[in-house]
Every structure is written in C-alpha cells, then in structure tokens.
Structure 1
C-alpha cells in the first residue's frame, strides 16, 4: 500500500498569483514542484523558444560543426548510426534531414535489436567502411562504445559521437564527443534526449550555413519534442519547452508520416497531448524496432507520399497491437515466477524469462515495478547469452548500483531509473544474489510515496479550474499531474464498462455534500468493487477534467487511487 503524504510548502500564494495572472491554488501547485524563483515561474508558465540556450554552448558542438562543414565541402560520405527506439529513430531522422539540407552526401544505418544489439558495433563500422563511408556520426548511442570507436579510428574513419547517456569511466576515442553530461560541458540543461542533442547540433550547423531559423522550428523541432516524451525524459526546463512547442506543431503538422500515424490511431488533433505521444503514437514507432526493424519507422518519417505513409503507419500500429499482447503474456509469466518462488523476499527483482522476446524486457520490467514497487530487471535469452532491461524506483540509482558488479556483464549502460545489460547465462543467479547482497534499501525506501498537492473538496472543482490547470501542461515524467484528495467520500453508484470490463463509472459525494462523476481504470475490478461495497466512506485521490461526449462537456474526476 502506498503512503499518502500531503505536500506543505509555504509561500505568498496570493502575491504570486497576482504577479503571474493565476489563482493562488495554481501558485501553490507550482511551489509544490519546487519552482520558486520569479524567472523559473515565468519560464514554467510562459517559456518559449527564446528561452532555449544557444547550441554552441554545448561542449563539442563547434568542433563537430567545423568537421561536418569540411566533410560536406569535400563531398565525403557520411553515415549516421542511430538506435532502434523512438529516440534513436527521431535522432537519426533529425540528423539526416539536417545534413541533407546542408548539402551532405549522407545515409543512415540502425542496428537490429536482436542481431546487432544496442548502438554501434564493429559489424556496423565494417559495413560503413566497406561502403566507402568516411565519417560516422552516432546519435542516441556511442558514449559507451570504446572498442567500437577505436576500431573505426584504426580504419582511418572520422567519428562524431552525439549522445545523452551517462558517461562511463573511459571515453571513446572519437574525433568529437557531443554530450551535455561531459564533466566540463558548460551547457546548463543536462537532461536532453538523444534527439534533443541531435537537434542542437543541426541548429548550430544550420546557423553557420544561414539556413532560416524558421525551418529548424517547423521541420525538425517536432521530432525532438516527440522523442523527449517517447524516451520518458524529465519534462522540465528545455525539455518542457521543446515538448510544448512540439505539441503545437503536432496539431497542425502536414508531415506525411506523423499525420498518417495520427490518422490510423484515430486521434483528434484538437485534443492531442503528451499522453498520446507516450502511450499511442510513440509505441508504434518503438514497435518496429522491438518486433521487426526500426528502419521501418525511419521509412515512415522519410516518406513524402501520404498514401504510402498510411500503409506504413497501419503496419506499425498492427505491430504495436501484437507487442501489447506479447507483453501481457510476459507480465503474467513474471508474476507467476515471483509469486511461486522465494523471489518475493528480494528487494531487487531479477526475473529470467528465457523465451520472452528480448525487446519486451523493459516494458515488462516497468509493469512489474508498478506492481511491487521495487527495482526490477527482466532478462531474456539472446543470441550470445542473456540480455535484459531494468526499471528502478526513486530511492535506487540503478546504473550506480549495477556498476558495483560490472565484472558479471559483457555490456551495460543506463540511467538512475533505467538500464540495459548483457551477460553470460551462468551469471544470472550470481547477478540476482549480488544485487540483493549489495542492496541497502529499507522498508521505508520500498514504500511508494504518493504526494498529494492539495486536499480539496469537490465543491472547488470547476471548468475554470480545469482550464487553468492546463497552464501546467505538458504532463509527464518530472512534471506530473497535480494530485488532489478528498476524504469521507460516499460511493453512490458504480457501473463497469469497457470491452475488458476495466472501466468503472462512479457517482461520488464528498463531505461538503457535492456530488461528482468519476472514472477509474483497473485490471482488478472485482477487488475494487468489493472494497467500495464494504466501506461506507473512502478517501480518493483525483484529478479534475472535462469529459466531452457527443458534443456535451461535463466535469468529471479522474480517480487515481482510493483507500
């Protein structure tokens, strides 16, 4: 059971509200996010493209631009090597469009998840060399590829790394590294995704070539914002601006591939949000790299023929539907393994599903983490041993902790909240034991804390409040939706809906006597109904929203949790 804690941070909310033209309630919500300086509040509410830092400040960008200009002038062959997820595909597309517009002789390659594994490898380097490629530009990968980059350099190739992942002890011997995580990089915002870094490189290159700035925003910014959400980056600072601007573009874009993807998923342009990127559109891009080849997703972005784009988009949607079904099966196998073994006592869960498609490991790990609120690794059998992905919790820095037993791996990398790893099959049990032996998580650390922004009776909910809350969007990691709470709530009516019987319509009455409609989603509906029938009054966590149906707008509460 999660622990509910109300955030109580003081400030002169009335004064902040008056200064920025918002209610004191919204001012309090912003303070709860630890945004306190006037400049920070202004950027959070009204920040735009003019608030982005100049790309040239990022370490490596100026020398990278100089090399690229020289290679373009010489007519040298340049190859972009990306990665197979949404960030890798969008990064590749941004660099391809950016270098093509600059007059480069350029092509792309994306590793096959099963055959090649993550990022650049020696086969990809050899393939480029044999094709007469002079210069390799990586995106969303490369910072951990010490041997692979050394191999490329031994062949006389020029290598530019653009990446956003954490640096390991040894930096690859590339000609230039562009990564804001470099210790002496003065770029103030460190949390850009790979596509964000690629977009910065193109913006600096285009600035030198005097390409109109408008092209950068209209043609490429959409994909930097799209990847930021899809790669689950923090929606703070520059990321928040990129996503806000990308969502504006998404409503009106005529890009054939993105337009086709929106159409086949039957999404309304008017209401499109970060949610749709993260849970509908983005997974279709990811599905191609998971179950087939990410080159199919790249082809969707590259095509200029809308009819062809519709066919490609429909194929990606079908792949994603298949991926969902396979994921559900994998989650059930993982639950069975945990519940029927002593693994239930582990503080770090290491689940070995040898026959699971390796591309689904990260998704399954995320679902299991949600269920048990523990760090989770899901490992699968691969061509050369075992490969897997991890998803963590706030109190466990996954990359840091797994680095303590790196002698068990053939390859690894990641962030505090997520990681990837490869190892020999005989090391799986050692890996599980070592992580748990080294683990210092306490029961308190393993209890999820749900932070309540404001305890607020239903009588405060209005259309005006919902409209003002939209100022806080886009929501996502690092900028979650506000959480409101009401106690002493009576459940007056319940109605189960949906093809899978996982939607619950509610009529609720709180202590103030105000009645509101609510909606709750759950895969354990029998348990939910039983609890609600047994307790005469409950406490609810909620978020107010507008429900639009057949032209009618009504207020409703999106129920987040109850007890």
Structure 2
C-alpha cells in the first residue's frame, strides 16, 4: 500500500563507488542497488545471476539418513504413515508433497491436519490417540512438531515413531523423535538454512526417491515446493533461490492436476510463471482454505489425479478465497470505524477487539492497518471461556516477540517472531495489556519518529524504464524475503492525469523529460489532490491486459517535488540546488557558497579546495544523490 504524501520520512541511499562493478553487464541503477545490498564484487553478482549446484543434503542434515531409512522401510512394507501438517499454505503443500511421494513409492500415507478453529496449531495428543487407534505407527510432521512436547511424549508412550520436519524455533531441549530434520541443525552458512516446511519435505522426498531409484515419484514435488516456499515468504536465498529458479521454468506445465487447476482458475495462461504469480494468484487461493475452511480441501486438490476433479476442488478454493476477501474487507471497515470513532490521538499501539471477528483473517487485517498507520497492530477475537485470541503485526524495528515476552504475566499463551505473532489473553486483562503495549510502542516511535520510512535503493529516470532494464530485472529474480524487488525513485515527475479505480486504486500518468509512463498506486489512502510535480518511489511491474503487456510503475510513496534540497547536519541546514543538468550549488548556514559539477563518470568536480574535506565531500555526495545527479 503506497504511503500518504504527508506522513513520510524519505531516506535516500548514500553515495558509493561503483567502479568495482564496471565489468558487471547490468544497467547502472541495478549495479548501484546490488552494491548497496552488499554485493560489492563482480564474483558476488555473478553468483546471484548464475546459481551453482547444491551440495548433497545428507552432509548438512545430521539425521536425514535415519529419516530416509525409516521411510524406505515403510514404503517396502506398505505401512500406514500419517503426514501431520499445518493449515497454512506451507503446511498444506508439504503434506500433499509427501502424500504424493509416499503413495507412489508404496506406502499408505494419510493426511492429519488440525482445525484452525477447533484444535489450533500443530500436532496434539488427541490426534496422536486417534492415529494410534487407526493403526498408524509412524508419524511424519511437516511445518510443525518441534514444540509439541505433550503429543510427542504421548506418541512415545504408545510406541509410535515420529520423524519431525519443521522450521520453527527449536526448543532448548531436543524434541522426542526418531529423527529431526530442521534447518538449524545444518552447518553455519549452509544453503539449506532458509528452507521452509515444504523445502524440508522436498529434501526428504528427493532423498527417498533417489534411494528407491524412482525419480518419477517426485515429478510434481518441485512444483509444490515452489508454491509453498513463496506462499510462506521464506527467504529467497541459498537452496530456496536455486530450487525456485529451476522450478519456475516448468511450473506452468506442471503434471499435477491440482496445480494446473489453480493456474487455470487464476487465468495465468501457458507462460512461465514468476514468484509474483504465486504470491498474488496461487497462494491466496490456498491460504484462504486454511483460514476459513477445511485444509483437507487443499490436500485433496493437490493430490488429485483427475483433472475434472481438480477443477471442481479448485473452484471450491476460489469460492473460499472470495469469501476471505469479503471477510477481510468487512473487518477492516469495522476496525477503521472503531478508530475513527475515538476522538483521541491515534494510540502508539493499535489494539482492537470484537468478539465476532473471524480468527482466520484477523492477521490479514492487522497487516493492512499496520501498513496504513505504520504502528504495531493487534486484532482480537473471542476464543470462548472469557478469552480473546489475537494476531499481531508490526513495522520493521518493533519486535513483536520481545514485546509479547515483556507482557508474559498478562498473557495465557503467546508466540511469534519480530514481525508478527499471536497471543491469548483473558478479556479482563485486555485494557492493562494495551497500556503495556502502548508504553513499548511509544518508546519505539519516539526513537524512530512518526511516519512511514521510505528507503529507495537507486535513482531511475523514466526514460531508463524500458524492456532492456526489464530483462535485466528478470535476471535478478526471483524476488522475495532476503532479496526484495528493487525500490527505485525518480525526481521531478509531472502528474498529467490521475483517476481513482474501483477498489480504491489510483491510476496515474507521469511525465519526465518528455517521457510518459503509466503508474498505479494500489489501495491508495490519500484524500487530497496530488501536487502537480512529485518525487516517486516505485517498483516496476509488467501489466498484462487484454493480450497486451506494458511496463508500469507500482507507486510505493509520493512526495511533493522541490527544486531545492535542504540537508540537515546537526543544528545547521545546507541549501542545495542544481542550476543546470549537472551542476551543484551548496550554501551553508552562514550563506557561503560552494559549487561544482558532476562529470560523465559520476564524479563531482570543483575548483574549490573545500570540496576535498571529508565532511564536505560527504555532504556533496548526499546533495548530488538528493538532486538526482547520481544513481
């Protein structure tokens, strides 16, 4: 969601020496942003552009051999095996991946996924008892299990063996299991460190298929890996990046009927897919089922062998996704009304509670409010017996997990990581909890400052946005956590047209140096008219419409353009201007003037000896970047 014009803190990139990357065959703005991301040598950029072969996982996961050996035995003896997953996209794709693999290899696998509403997260004692009564003696967890201490102890008491595959935080004491497959057990700097649950399931399945010399057993496994990895927002580095890059080349021609059905319903056509296609088209259709429906529906879809059946199951997922969108929109509108009805200033920590809100979607709405107001946000819904269950989201810099740890005495249960979390609290404690969280958030805001932080990585003129640049951008994909899509900025763009679209999106036409570009601002929240000339922070996308594909700017932030730039240093303000295309003039607080120009190599030249002083040189560099003279 783009930020409002009036509540922004723009932090432009610092100056860099790009000569080290002169030999890299990428446009200058892309070399600049990669340098700023720490890729300061050609070899590092080449490693990003050209993935090397992954090492054998057996040397990275200490207990992988034990897990594969036990599953091999289960396949040879046609044993019943329970695949215990989670109700999110990662857990459901992991479950389907192992079901398809083990079924092909001779075992008799069955899915066991808890209900979000009735059971909550992860393996539990009731599931273990039911599986034992059904004759299951081997359980494989995917995307959960390391924190299921009671359930694992119960399985041990019943003589059941458990293979744990999970990527959530390991407890201090090793969980009771026959084998533990977890990224934290790999060596430091292992390419497998960032695997999500579906990545671990893929590693196990591939090793098992290789052992049994049946590569066809994992024919669709990499397709499910791609969907689950992107949907879970796993870091797209290391093995995730390598496997995803390979998988995206073939995903559009998957031999999995369920995957083909999802692509057909999303209208993606017969073209190679990008990570964005998964994130915005396929993953929501899967995640919606786990949020408001029965996750078994997704498992049935992704394990279906008949295309007609897959299409029907896919339509059900599509319907649930529409319901999920409607629920989110309704709850968001209600939450905004609650905030607007309170005449007091916006609290540092947004905490809103309504008993009838749906647990499955309050996390999505919390994320929307957090984006809109740039404050940590918690939405609470009734959980029975006088309890409220919450989902929490926070901007970068506010650690949700630490904040909840600070409030442990007021909470029944809690968990999470820095960006997101959840908790259960007695309704009677909600007011005290809000006071504690407000105090933590206020301290954070006072340190960080109000408003949305806008941090573009490189300057990009509108004339430079062409298919050559787009091709170079595609060579850097896939983008995601750990390797985000580049955020560019452009200075002095004239707004020649603006139109509000259905859904609250703003369509713009921008002109700079006689070059015209179309732009879109999704879920635009600003009410006042835009300034006539703006600076824009944006990402680049390919808009496909009625058979035509056009490059467009996806606006992340806008601000009014000013010909002059004020740089604040201590108590002083330096006024910077660019009288012509390549010249720079800086006036210090005393009114003294320093001028020079930027040559064709991006180097500032001046006859004024003061320009060589390190403090002044640093000031000049920032002025050149702020005035749009350097990338």
**Aligned ranges 1:193-208 → 2 under 5 Å:** 193-208=196-211
Higher helix share: 1
TM-superposed deviation, 1:407: 4.4
Distance, in Å, in 1 between the alignment partners of 2:56 and 2:396 is 29
- Alpha-carbon contact 1:542-1:559 (below 8 Å) kept: yes
Task: Tell me how far 1:304 sits from its aligned partner.
Answer: 1.0
Aligned residue number for residue 183 of structure 2: 180
- 1:310 and 2:314 correspond: no
Query: Which residue does the alignment assign to 1:16?
Result: 21
Label 1:103 to 1:187 Cα distance change in 2 as closer, same or farther (>3 A). Answer: farther
CA separation of 1:548/1:317 partners in 2, compared to 1, >3 Å: closer, same or farther? closer
* 1:451 matched to 2:418: no
Match of 1:485 among 483, 486, 489: 489
Aligned match of 1:394? 396
Q: What is residue 270 of structure 1 aligned with on the other side?
A: 271
Write the deviation string for residues 444-488 of structure 1: whole angstroms up to 9, x where unpaired. Answer: 436432221222322322221122111122223332222222222
1:464 pairs with 2:468: yes
Residues 341, 450 of structure 1: alpha-carbon distance in 2 compared, 3 angstrom cutoff = same
In 2, Cα distance between equivalents of 1:240 and 1:348: 36
Shift of residue 174, structure 1, vs aligned partner: 2.3
Whole-Å separation in 2 of the counterparts to 1:192 and 1:181: 10
Partner Cα distance (1:12, 1:53) in 2 = 36
In structure 2, relative to structure 1, the CA distance for the partners of 1:306 and 1:362 (3 Å cut) is: same
- Alpha-carbon distance between aligned partners in 2 of 1:489 and 1:42, rounded to the nearest angstrom: 34
Deviation (angstroms), 1:493: 2.4
- Structure 2 vs 1, CA of residues 282 and 343 (structure 1 numbering), >3 Å: closer, same or farther? farther
Could you say what secondary structure the match of 2:118 adopts?
coil
The one of the two structures with greater contact order (alpha-carbon pairs below 8 A, sep at least 6) is: 2
Residues 545 and 394 of structure 1, relative CA distance in 2, 3 Å threshold: closer
Query: Max radius of gyration: which structure?
Result: 2
Residues 456, 286 of structure 1: CA spacing in aligned structure 2 closer, same or farther, 3 A cutoff? closer
- CA contact under 8 A between 2:77 and 2:107: conserved in structure 1? no
Within 1, Cα distance between the matches of 2:217 and 2:48?
25
The alpha carbon displacement at 1:141 in A equals: 0.8
Partner of 1:414: 416
- In the superposition, relative to structure 1, how do residues 71 and 524 fare at CA in structure 2: closer, same or farther (>3 Å)? closer
Which range moves more in the overlay, 229-238 or 375-384? 375-384
Structure 1 residue 226: Cα displacement: 0.9
Answer whether contact 2:101 2:217 (CA < 8 A) is retained: no
Q: Which of 546, 553, 572 is the equivalent residue of 1:557?
A: 553
- Structure 2 Cα separation of the partners of residues 557 and 184 of structure 1: 41
Q: In the TM superposition, what is the alpha-carbon distance from 1:297 to its structure 2 partner?
A: 0.7
The answer for the alignment partner of 2:115 in structure 1 is 112
CA contact (8 A) 1:167 1:182 kept: no
**Residue 359 of structure 2 corresponds to which residue in structure 1?**
358
Question: Contact 2:358/2:381 (CA < 8 Å) preserved in 1?
Answer: yes
Q: Alignment partner of 1:366: what SS?
A: helix
Indicate how the Cα distance of structure 1 residues 377 and 171 shifts in structure 2: closer, same or farther if over 3 A, else same: farther
| Cα distance between partner residues in 2 of 1:562 and 1:448 | 11
Aligned mates of 1:343, 1:351 — CA distance in 2: 15
Q: Please identify, of 307-316 and 428-437, the stretch whose mean Cα deviation from structure 2 is larger.
A: 428-437
Displacement of 1:546 in angstroms is 4.7
8 Å Cα contact 1:57-1:186 kept in structure 2: no
**SS of structure 2 residue aligned to 1:452:** coil
Shift of the 479–422 alpha-carbon distance from structure 1 to 2, 3 Å rule, reads same
Cα displacement (A) at 1:36: 3.5
Unaligned stretches of 5+ residues in structure 1: none
TM-aligned CA distance change 1:55 to 1:422, over 3 Å? farther
Provide the TM-score with structure 2 as the length reference. 0.81
Range moving further from structure 2, 536-545 or 256-265: 536-545
Q: How does 1:303-342 map to 2 (within 5 A)?
A: 303-341=304-342
Q: CA deviation at 1:183?
A: 8.7
Matched, 1:531 2:529: yes
Whether the 8 Å CA contact 1:17–1:26 is kept in 2: the answer is no
Partner SS for 1:354: coil
Relative to 1, partners in 2 of residues 1:299 and 1:458: Cα closer, same or farther, differing over 3 Å? same
1:136 aligns with 2:134: no
Structure 1 pair 59–442 and aligned structure 2 pair: CA distance change class (3 A): farther
The structure 2 residue matched to 1:145, chosen from 134, 141, 148, is 148
Contact 1:166 1:415 in 2 (8 A): no
Q: Kindly indicate whether the alpha-carbon contact (under 8 Å) linking 2:251 and 2:272 is maintained by their aligned counterparts in 1.
A: no
Alignment of 1:31-180 (within 5 A): 31-36=35-40, 38-47=42-51, 50-51=53-54, 54-180=57-183
How far apart, in 2, do the equivalents of 1:304 and 1:562 lie?
49
- For residues 475-527 of structure 1, what are the alpha-carbon distances to aligned partners after superposition, in whole Å with 9 as ceiling and x for unaligned? 23332222222222221223444x44x343333222xx223122223444771
Q: Quote the RMSD (CA, aligned, Å).
A: 2.7
Shift of 1:252: 1.9
Q: 3-state SS of the aligned residue for 1:486?
A: strand
- Greater shift in the superposed pair: 65-74 or 162-171: 65-74
Would you say the 8 A contact 1:140–1:195 is kept in 2?
yes
**Aligned in 2, Cα 1:78/1:554: closer, same or farther, shift over 3 Å?**
closer
Q: CA deviation at 1:187?
A: 4.1
For 2:68 and 2:299, how far apart are their aligned partners in 1? 24
Say which SS state the counterpart of residue 184 (structure 2) adopts: coil
In the alignment, structure 1 residue 541 sits paired with structure 2 residue 542 = no
Query: 1:226 matched to which residue of 2?
Result: 227
Distance (Å, rounded) in 2 between the aligned partners of 1:407 and 1:175: 35
Distance 2:348 2:45 in 1: 39
Mean Cα deviation higher: 456-465 or 31-40: 31-40
Q: In the comparison of the two structures, how many residue pairs are matched?
A: 550
Give SS of 1:475's match: coil
